[in-house]
Structure 1
């Protein structure tokens, strides 16, 4: 049997597994093992490659720490205070609660760095409120899914850490480069949200109250402090992204432990309307006790246990593709497109199509080492291409048939996956528009670096 036929059969077999719902990690793992046997590579090579990823990647240590940060700020009540602030600012506009959900996603992303954590947290908190407020349940769930896309763009970002590790780029520079594009993504989705809600008349309006905005801002001060701590530390070089992740986890643990007794003393309640809370109650979040920390850590460890092996096995997949000559084939195809813009938009098209069927981690690990050098050879600045690449990868979170955020939103809201697809289209249009603008205007990614 011809070599190409065997490769095709192995690939079709794992594709069938993927279509049947087998986890992506196992799908890639089966392909790696099958191709290793076919190419005569020992399984020791797989073990060595997996070990190298976990023992040589200090930067990757930030990933589980930022995931834990997301769970800690959710459990402590900080995430709820950030969403209250967003609603106080936007609730007077048609679709204000939905826009507040998008704004809360941006604020949550600025601490957690995870798309799925952002979607799950904001979706579980605000989807019931949106349905009660007159929004279509499908639109509400799709909004949480779309808002989660900024989880890997607004710093800190888990995927920026992986990209910087792979391409030997300063992770702090990548974080700073993602600020403006991430804000643009939130703004574009808010505009799309407003237009949809205005057309359908969704949402109950609340008066714009400077007092309410002030009180919720005071209530969210711990969240703002955590965001500022991360960005200040990384931007000024006081600590590395990995150290920043550790500092943030420590901050959240201290806040959780201290606020629990203070919350009980002040008589605060997580369900009390913000307008009825006193200033002392606003200053203290719900918190959590030491006995709750193991369960919170276990949940974060479960997510890390899914992502970390996926990173490792994707690295081995990249090695096998290199042996097969896939990198040269893709490189030759992209290079043949011509100059700067042709190469750039061809690369973007490859990332977009790949994001439709794969999670952002394997897309990054497999394609970034191939496409980034080509883009650099035609004059695309490496940090700018990193942002372009990862904005495209983030769009894949709401692009079927994979669309990880759609599955997460469906799980936390109870709305079936396929019922969300119609309402993701406006958000896709908004995000694709921002993506093209970011690609055509390099200064959006590099302006803050220049300062």
Structure 2
């Protein structure tokens, strides 16, 4: 039996195991171990490479800090204030709470830089409220998963850092290029959400109240300050994205610890309706006590413990694919397609299907060095292509069979993975539509980037 036949059988076997509900980490690990035997490489190479991923993967150092930032923002009440502001602006529309959840994902992404942290935080916070508000629990969980896709597009973004490093591009320019496409992704998903909610009659409407908007916006000032702190620090070069995450963690710790006693002194009850609160009551978020910090850190570590092994084993999978000649085959195939649009759309198709089975980091590590030079050779701007590439990779977060955000949303909401899939379809259509618009309109990515 040939090596190719054996690898095909291994791939079919792990696909069958996936359908039986075996965790994705084990699926990829089984494939990696099986192909390692076929390739004849030492089995202990897997452990060595996993160690290298986390000892030398500089960008991954930011991941635990971004996730911890998300949990601190959530626990301190800042995330709830951002969500309240989004709901005050959108609650008068059918499906306003679900649309606010997507808007809150966009705001949260501008602090956390992580799709999974965005999904986990907004999903755990707003899913119960959406279910209590008359939304289908499957739709509510799918909304949190879809909203999290902007986590790697709206700056700061770990994946933009990795892409910029691999392709020797300015990370600040990549961040700026992601602003408008990220905003368009949010608006498109909100439109899809409004349409579905209107068709099903989901959600309770609240009056459009300018005073409520002002109060919630005033109350969310700490969240806006955190967003500004991250963006200012990165864009001015005061600190790296990893340092930005650390600074934001420190800021959130200080805010949470200081605001807890102030909240008690001011008797700021989080259960009091916003309409009954004055502007002074909105100044101080709920906060947390010092003894609560270890439990918050443990929760962040649990999420990191889910993601880190997936990323590590995916990178090892990339190495096996390279040994099998996948990179050379892809490069020759795309190069043979010809002109500008042929290369553009072929690259998009490859990124889309790769995102269905791999996490965005290994997709970037494997494909960016292959596709980006080919795209540049036919006249596609490198910064524009980076946005096209990563928007496509972000769509993979809600595309089965991998769909990392779907697993995160399932974990924090308790809704089974396969029950979410139906309600991701409208969001997929919205995101793919924006993806093509961004691909065909370079100025959406480039208009804010400083021209030298």
Corresponding residue for residue 252 of structure 1: 252
Matched, 1:193 2:193: yes
Partner secondary structure for residue 272 of structure 1: coil
* Structure 2: tracts of 5 or more residues without a match: none
CA-CA distance at 1:44 after TM superposition: 5.0
CA contact (8 A) 1:171 1:241 kept: no
Q: Quote the Cα distance in structure 1 between the aligned partners of 2:28 and 2:414.
A: 29
Matched, 1:39 2:39: yes
Moved more, 180-189 or 276-285: 276-285
CA-CA distance at 1:444 after TM superposition: 1.5
Q: Quote the Cα distance in structure 1 between the aligned partners of 2:274 and 2:389.
A: 40
Corresponding residue for residue 18 of structure 2: 18
The verdict on how the C-alpha distance between 1:140 and 1:54 changes in structure 2, with shifts beyond 3 A counting, is: closer
**1:56-99: CA deviation from partner (whole Å, max 9, x where unpaired):** 33333112111111111011111000000001111122322221
CA contact (8 A) 1:66 1:112 kept: yes
**1:191-221: CA deviation from partner (whole Å, max 9, x where unpaired):** 2222233333333222222211111111100
The verdict on how the C-alpha distance between 1:400 and 1:104 changes in structure 2, with shifts beyond 3 A counting, is: same
CA-CA distance at 1:313 after TM superposition: 2.9
Corresponding residue for residue 285 of structure 1: 285
CA-CA distance at 1:168 after TM superposition: 4.1
Matched, 1:239 2:227: no
Matched, 1:215 2:215: yes
Q: Quote the Cα distance in structure 2 between the aligned partners of 1:19 and 1:168.
A: 40
Partner secondary structure for residue 93 of structure 2: coil
Partner secondary structure for residue 42 of structure 1: coil
The verdict on how the C-alpha distance between 1:242 and 1:4 changes in structure 2, with shifts beyond 3 A counting, is: same
CA-CA distance at 1:342 after TM superposition: 0.8
CA contact (8 A) 1:317 1:366 kept: no
Moved more, 47-56 or 213-222: 47-56
Corresponding residue for residue 303 of structure 1: 303
Partner secondary structure for residue 400 of structure 2: coil
The verdict on how the C-alpha distance between 1:311 and 1:125 changes in structure 2, with shifts beyond 3 A counting, is: closer
CA contact (8 A) 1:311 1:365 kept: no
**1:213-260: CA deviation from partner (whole Å, max 9, x where unpaired):** 111111100000000111111112221111111111111111111111
TM-score normalized by the length of structure 1:
0.93
CA contact (8 A) 2:173 2:450 kept: no
Corresponding residue for residue 353 of structure 1: 353
CA-CA distance at 1:376 after TM superposition: 2.3
Corresponding residue for residue 78 of structure 2: 78
**1:362-407: CA deviation from partner (whole Å, max 9, x where unpaired):** 3333333332232222222222222111211211222233333233
CA contact (8 A) 2:314 2:359 kept: no
**1:300-356: CA deviation from partner (whole Å, max 9, x where unpaired):** 222223333333333332222222211111111111111111111111111212222
Moved more, 269-278 or 39-48: 39-48
CA-CA distance at 1:2 after TM superposition: 1.9
Partner secondary structure for residue 29 of structure 2: helix
CA contact (8 A) 1:310 1:361 kept: no
Matched, 1:379 2:375: no
1:58-207 matches, cutoff 5 A: 58-207=58-207
The verdict on how the C-alpha distance between 1:2 and 1:397 changes in structure 2, with shifts beyond 3 A counting, is: same
Q: Quote the Cα distance in structure 1 between the aligned partners of 2:357 and 2:264.
A: 48
Q: Quote the Cα distance in structure 2 between the aligned partners of 1:57 and 1:137.
A: 37
Q: Quote the Cα distance in structure 2 between the aligned partners of 1:420 and 1:66.
A: 26
Moved more, 359-368 or 239-248: 359-368
Partner secondary structure for residue 193 of structure 2: helix
Corresponding residue for residue 224 of structure 1: 224
Moved more, 146-155 or 42-51: 42-51
Moved more, 193-202 or 172-181: 193-202
Moved more, 389-398 or 78-87: 389-398
CA-CA distance at 1:47 after TM superposition: 4.2
Q: Quote the Cα distance in structure 2 between the aligned partners of 1:202 and 1:19.
A: 32
Q: Quote the Cα distance in structure 1 between the aligned partners of 2:316 and 2:124.
A: 36
Moved more, 127-136 or 257-266: 127-136
Say what the alpha-carbon RMSD is for the aligned residues.
2.2
Moved more, 257-266 or 378-387: 378-387
Corresponding residue for residue 449 of structure 2: 449
Q: Quote the Cα distance in structure 2 between the aligned partners of 1:44 and 1:141.
A: 39
Partner secondary structure for residue 450 of structure 1: coil
**1:125-182: CA deviation from partner (whole Å, max 9, x where unpaired):** 2233233333333333322222121122111223323333444443333222211111
CA contact (8 A) 1:116 1:408 kept: yes
The verdict on how the C-alpha distance between 1:192 and 1:359 changes in structure 2, with shifts beyond 3 A counting, is: same
Moved more, 253-262 or 351-360: 351-360
Partner secondary structure for residue 203 of structure 1: coil
TM-score normalized by the length of structure 2:
0.93
